[in-house]
Amino acid sequence: MTRIFGPIWTAPIVLGVLTVIGLVSALLGDGVWDAVSAVSLGVVVAVGGWYGLRRPKAR
């Protein structure tokens, strides 16, 4: 279990933390706080878009 925990859960945990930062930051203020939100949540969406929309290269 512990041996495979890292490889499986590293990415989901990082994405989860980025989501929390993205959701909370814009609540606390405007301007730079909104930007932090947009970037961190943007990374999460970009990762989803990248893996979800990526097509294998034609061989």
Partner 1 sequence: MTPKNVRRWSWIHKWSSLVCTVFMLLLCITGLPLIYHHEIIHALGNEVEAPEMPADTPRANIDRVVAAGMAAYPGKVMMYLSQDREEPDMWAMTLGDTPRDKNYKPLLVDARTAQLLPEPPVEGGPFMSLMFHLHVDLYAGLWGKLFLGFMGMLLIVAVVSGVVLYAPFTRKLAFGTVRHERSRRVRWLDLHNVLGIVTMVWLLVVGTTGVINTWADLLLKAWQKTELAEITAPYAGLPPVTKLGSMSQMIAAAESAAPGMQVKYVAFPGTKFATPHHYIAFMQGTTPLTSRLQKPVLIDAQTGAVTASPDLPWYMVALRVSQPLHFGDYGGQALKLLWALLDIATIVVLITGLYLWLKRGKAAAAKPAEVRAEEAAV
Q: Which residues bind partner 1 (CB under 8 A)?
A: 4, 7-12, 15-16, 19-20, 22-23, 25-30, 33-34, 37-38, 41-42, 44-45, 47-52, 54-56
| DSSP state letters, 17-40 | HHHHHHHHHHHH-STHHHHHHHHH
- Angle formed at CA 13 by CA 28 and CA 35, multiple of 5 degrees: 30
To the nearest whole angstrom, how small is the minimum distance from the Cβ of residue 38 to partner 1?
Answer: 4
To the nearest whole angstrom, how small is the minimum distance from the Cβ of residue 34 to partner 1?
Answer: 5
To the nearest whole angstrom, how small is the minimum distance from the Cβ of residue 45 to partner 1?
Answer: 5
